[in-house]
Amino acid sequence: MSATRIHSKPKSWLWGTLTSIRLTVFLLLILAAVAVIGTVVPQNQPPNQYFSRFGEVWGELLWRGGFTRVYFSPWFLGPISLLAANILACVIHGLPQAVKRTLQPLTVSAALTLPERGRIIWPAGIDPQPLIAATLKRELGHCRQETLPDQEIYLLERGRCRPVGPYLIHVALLLILAGGLIGKFGGVDGQLAIDQGEVAGAFQVAPRVEKPLNFQVRLDKFQVSYYEPGGSPKEFRSDLTFMQDGREVSRATCRVNEPVSFGGLTFYQSSYGAQATGPVRLQVQKGGLNQTVEVAYRRPVDLAGGEGKVWLMQVDGNHQGYGPAVLIASQAGADHPMAFWIFQNLPGLAKSPYHPGLVKQPGVYSFTVESIPFGYYSVFQVKHDPGVGWVYAGFLLLLPGLYLAFFRPVERWALVLAKTPQGTWQGRLLGASPRHREEFAARQERLLTELKRGTQS
């Protein structure tokens, strides 16, 4: 066995594997399984979360095996890299041949080998060439005409660029994959929580890890509106001011699905909240006894007579459209504490945090909100994705690829016209199409019908 044959086999096996559709299917199945794991198993949580949810053994296995950050693990990066190599190998293997086929026009010798689809006889004294040219142009488009010593040949090829379509899809997928990986490893993704009136110069990219901004951003005002009281939020917006070295440079309003970009970063409105800036003043009534108390966040306050307690759990500047409200927990004697929302503008009414609708305040105590000192804060997702352009380019290339691959079938037509010794004209319609045979058959029927006009029965 020669040295050339010894070295060619591994190369041939490797190249054949890389260009195999079986490898593509295998890698896609692996990626689907990894995606299921990434959906079922919460990602990027502390270890104790997995131990408490899945137990010591499975929690340790998930943590040590990299399944808690599966999209950054070899379980995902390995198959996705092999899939990119598989697609690239298919492009290198097939694209030059597809381009070569596209650049080769239909020749006379190739046209004469096409299957015959019908014959037309025109009587002597009639020149069928104007009819042929008009019919072919109307039904098939511009035709090329070749003149031979004893016959005229009309040639036409539709969908000549179709072989390139699948490879445009391959290249588009490569661009999309490249854009995703560039954005994942070369981009920035963090979170910025900022109080109303606060100026921020950094945002959080990981637990207890901050990344400084090369500018400052101030939350001037936050607003939330509802479709109806007790309904879902209609809009929440943040009015932002961007500053350089303390000097105002730009102002913008950030809404849900309307991000704001500045300094190479994009700010997406993610969530919001309200927090108490001081003790909440409540008026408490039980029977004929009235009491005014100031309640701080999560600090129990004894009620009159020492028979009950109240805690402040949360504040909201406009809770579900009902106006300013506080979530309190009230306990009377040895009873279990009860948590419910009370409203500054709706005294005597309450709302359970677990059920919709307003009800009468539960328990033996009646609470009235006198004042709620609070301030809004807004939470933004801060992103910089250098792979977006690659992804957009991939999707733009995907459209012509899909069109050529699925909506531009290859059709080859030829009409051979020759004059017989009797002085009549004989035309032979030749054609072939490997796909879309019903459409091809319908076109063939129309062509034969039109071409037979003017002939004698």
pLDDT digits (tens, 9 = 90+) for 93-129: 999 999 999 998 899 999 999 999 999 999 888 889 9
Which CATH number does the domain housing residue 444 bear?
3.30.310
Q: What is the DSSP string of 27-39?
A: HHHHHHHHHHHHH
Cα–Cα distance for residue pair 138/433, rounded to 1 Å: 19
Domain co-membership, 58 together with 16 = yes
3-class SS shares of the chain: helix, strand, coil, % to 5: 40, 35, 25
Domain co-membership, 366 together with 419 = no
Model pLDDT, residue 455: 66
How would residue 454 be classed by pLDDT, with cut points 50, 70 and 90? low
How would residue 33 be classed by pLDDT, with cut points 50, 70 and 90? very high
DSSP secondary structure letter of residue 287 = T
Q: Is residue 393 part of a domain?
A: no
Residue ending a domain, choose from 101, 127, 149: 101
Helices 129-140 and 437-451 sit at what angle, rounded to 10 degrees? 150
Q: Is residue 111 part of a domain?
A: yes
Of residues 441, 409, 431, 426, the one with CA closest to residue 114 = 431
Domain co-membership, 370 together with 445 = no
> Mean per-residue pLDDT for 235-254?
92
Q: Is-contact 267 380, C-beta < 8 A?
A: yes
Please give the tally of structural domains in the chain.
3
> What domain range is 360 assigned to?
280-374
Domain co-membership, 288 together with 352 = yes
203 pLDDT more than 70: yes
Integer angstrom CA distances of residue 427 from 20, 287, 419, 447, 451: 45, 109, 9, 12, 9
> Mean per-residue pLDDT for 248-254?
94
Residue of 276 and 396 predicted with greater confidence: 396
How would residue 231 be classed by pLDDT, with cut points 50, 70 and 90? low
Q: Is residue 137 part of a domain?
A: yes
Domain co-membership, 35 together with 125 = no
Domain co-membership, 12 together with 78 = yes
How would residue 7 be classed by pLDDT, with cut points 50, 70 and 90? very low
pLDDT, tens digit, 9 for 90 and up, residues 54-95: 888 898 899 889 899 898 899 999 999 999 999 999 999 999
The rounded mean pLDDT for the chain is: 88
Residue ending a domain, choose from 356, 374, 392: 374
Q: Is residue 245 part of a domain?
A: no
Cα–Cα distance for residue pair 195/275, rounded to 1 Å: 9
- For the entire predicted model, the pTM comes to 0.68
Task: Out of 74-83, 120-129, 303-312, 430-439, pick the least confident.
Answer: 303-312
Residue 121: partners with Cβ closer than 8 Å, 6 or more residues away: 424, 425, 426, 427, 455
Q: Is residue 212 part of a domain?
A: no
Domain co-membership, 123 together with 97 = no
